[in-house]
Amino acid sequence: MSKIIKSDFLVIGSGIAGLSYALKVAEYGKVHVISKKDAGETNTSFAQGGIASVSKKNDSVEKHIQDTLIAGAGLCHKDAVEYGLSEAPERIKDLIGWGVKFTKDDKGVYDLAKEGGHSKHRILHAADLTGAEIQRALLSKAKANPNIEIFEHHLAIDLITEHHVLGNLQSAFNICFGAYILCTKENCVVPFQANYTILATGGASKVFLHSTNPDIATGDGVAMAYRAGVRIANMEFVQFHPTSLYNPGKRSFLISEALRGFGGRLVNGEGERFMPKYDKRAELAPRDIVARGIDAEMKKRNEDCVFLDMRHLNSDEVKSRFPNIAKWCQQSIDKDISKDLIPVVPAAHYFCGGIMTSLTGQTSMQNLFAIGEAAHTGLHGANRLASNSLMEALAFSHNAALKFIRKRPRNFGTVIIPEWDESGIVDEKEWVLTRHNQKEIQNIMWDYVGIVRSKKQLNRAKRRIQLIYQEVEDYYKKSKVSGELVELRNLSAIAFLIITSALRRNESRGLHYMTDFPNKSDKFLKDTII
């Protein structure tokens, strides 16, 4: 058996939520941070556009709140919106203090961008690599902290609850005691015992065939929490980013909303600008509206993509404002973004639902917290306003840290963590067939549970996913654990959660659009809880 590692804080995930939480609590105990790959490979590092926060006199927190509530289509939790956005200016100071360098103009003032759904310029950015800059600064700070230890190439398998532990647990119920973690390089399972376990595992968009997310985004935290009986909310609300680079056969690449905020226009194959006929805000409408507009235009014209047109803007300014995107397009499709049309299609991008939490990140299980995209705080409602995600992660990880600082964890007596059962067979022939399920899941979800849905499509997807889900669980129970198998198991659970949630919402609201229920209904002004 691998030696048990004991933590005061077990943080699963090394993006903006996990690292900012770790930095806040490090002076109060030993923090262990779990990272699936290299610690810098996170959803955070892929964020391009920026982080939303009021910082000018002609703007106000009230306006930011109003923009967020409008985008959220009636499902935002107002207390979460008010808390998160009121915290934003102070949390920006945290980032700057940790060494994040946001882009400034010639006068040394922070350059603020405007994105879809925002009434004001309030997006701080670091050129078009904001997430990478935040990741760099936080990781550097965390690695320099003697109380923070980062375990790279470690993958969480399952939470440890009272169902696993042995010992004096008469007073213990519905408690998390840590997690079983797979060291993928050595292929051994290490039990991590923790006073507090924090799920900061990011999103799950790899459940879809086309995604802007890195391969790590397999919904591990949400799937683990679901298996442990923790409340999950609003998984039907999946944000499809309107513009990922259309480059068939290659990994999706995000073409930031900031290009449309800068003045970019969407045109069809005939070069006609089409978004004004779908919404008066045109390219700067909320993402759900733009994504559906693009989807409708492609279907109507039987085209594989639409195009983003930046040719009417100053060429030098476009290239200096978006250097990474310009470089990628030049290298991957031989296009100059200032002179050529950029082919784009929607792709799965962000989950508005997740593990249900309070404003302090507390889940429905004691000593288990969730922050960042893995959490459902209620801030986003039925559709996330652009660039609110990084801010939400910062604000709520701060509040989760404050909860510990104000109230120390309860002692549950002697806890004995049992060994991980390493027994199981490795049937290579069966695994070859089982691993094909991942591509099948992604195709099913893209074809039947995408931007536009119907009851018939969802039920068809449900039948297929239930069969795959059971096949994967059966194989998991009799086989030696591996990283690929853990991720496949999690993706099948995520697909099941999305479909189950979508079937319960017989209306169209925000990111959830049903052809057979095209209108909103007050009956569904509530969270979908599993």
Q: What is the pLDDT of residues 332-367, one digit of tens each?
A: 999 999 999 999 999 999 999 999 999 999 999 999
Which of 94-103, 159-168, 338-347, 515-524 has the least mean pLDDT? 159-168
249 to each of 41, 210, 245, 252, 478, how far by Cα in Å?
Answer: 22, 10, 11, 9, 34
Q: 363: which residues sit within 8 A by CB, 6+ positions away?
A: 199, 225, 230, 231, 355, 356, 357, 369, 370
Does residue 412 surpass a pLDDT of 80?
no
Q: Which residues contact 306 (CB under 8 A, 6 or more apart)?
A: 266, 267, 268, 269, 274, 294, 297, 298, 343, 344, 345
pLDDT of residue 318: 96
Say how far apart CA 83 and CA 418 lie, in whole Å: 41
Is 407's pLDDT higher than 80? Answer: no
- Report the share of the chain in percent with pLDDT over 70: 97
428-524 has the same fold as 5-236+352-412? no
Assigned CATH topology for domain 428-524:
Methane Monooxygenase Hydroxylase; Chain G, domain 1 (1.20.58)
pLDDT per residue as tens digits for the range 130-158: 999 999 999 999 999 999 999 999 999 99
Report DSSP letters for 94-145, one per residue. Answer: HHHHTT----B-TTSPBPEE--TT-SS--EE-STT-HHHHHHHHHHHHHHT-
Of residues 439 and 427, more confidence is placed in 439
245: amino acid identity, one letter: L
Whether the predicted pLDDT of 409 surpasses 70 = no
- Give the residues across from 351 on adjacent strands: 238
Residues in the chain: 530
Using one digit for the tens of pLDDT, what is the confidence trace for 365-382? 999 999 999 999 999 999
Clarify whether 509 is annotated catalytic: no
Give strand ranges (E) for 187-341.
188-199, 232-233, 238-245, 265-267, 306-309
Domain extents in the chain: 5-236+352-412, 245-347, 428-524
Cα separation, 230 vs 223, in Å, equals 10
Q: 160 pLDDT exceeds 60?
A: yes
pLDDT, tens only, 39-69: 989 999 988 889 999 999 999 999 999 999 9
DSSP 3-state of 412: coil
Residue predicted with more confidence, 460 or 252? 460
Section 427-454 average pLDDT? 89
Determine whether 365 is exposed, middle or buried from the number of CB atoms within 10 Å of its CB (0-12, 13-18, 19+).
Answer: buried
CA torsion sign, 466 to 469 to 471 to 474?
A: negative
Q: With contact defined as beta carbons under 8 Å apart, do 255 and 245 qualify?
A: yes
pLDDT at 463 over 60: yes
287, 321, 453, 509: the catalytic one is 287
User: What do you get for the CA distance between the two ends of the chain, in Å?
Assistant: 35
The helix (run of H) or strand (run of E) holding residue 467 is: helix 455-478
The yes-or-no verdict on residue 413 having pLDDT over 90 is no
pLDDT of 1: 46
In this prediction, residues 247-267 reach a mean pLDDT of 91
Fold of 5-236+352-412: FAD/NAD(P)-binding domain (3.50.50)
pLDDT for 410 equals 58
Mean pLDDT over 94-105 rounds to: 96
Strands (E), 130-186: 148-151, 154-161, 166-167, 176-183
Per-residue confidence (pLDDT) for residue 242, from 0 to 100: 92
**Res 172: pLDDT:** 64
Instruction: Give the 3-state secondary structure of residue 347.
Output: strand
Residues 110, 114, 119, 121, Cα dihedral to 10°: 10
Query: Residue 415 — very low, low, confident or very high, per pLDDT cuts 50/70/90?
Result: confident
What CATH number labels 245-347?
Answer: 3.90.700.10
Q: What phi and psi values does residue 509 have, to the nearest 5 degrees?
A: -150, 125
pLDDT of residue 112: 94
**What 8-state DSSP symbol labels residue 383?**
S
- The pLDDT assigned to 163 comes to 81
